[in-house]
Amino acid sequence: MQDIFLIFQTLLNNFQLIYLLTVLANISFNNLKLNNADSIPMLPEAVF
């Protein structure tokens, strides 16, 4: 039973980390878009 809980905890931690990284990537990409709106080609929104 302890092993199952440990696996679940690890999955949860990994999911939170991936979510956090995705949010940070979105924020930095949006800042990039705002700062260099006319100098970089637009990436499709589906990438994020």
pTM of the predicted model, to two decimals? 0.51
CB atoms within 10 A of CB 5: 9
pLDDT attached to residue 43: 58
One-letter amino acid of 15: F
Rg of the chain over all Cα atoms, to the nearest angstrom: 17
Query: pLDDT value at position 11?
Result: 93
Domain boundaries, the chain: 1-25
Per-residue confidence of the chain (48 residues) as pLDDT tens digits? Answer: 789 999 999 999 999 999 999 998 988 888 777 666 555 555 565 554
Q: How far apart are CA 41 and CA 1, in angstroms?
A: 52
How does DSSP classify residue 15?
H
Residue showing tokens 């970089």: 40
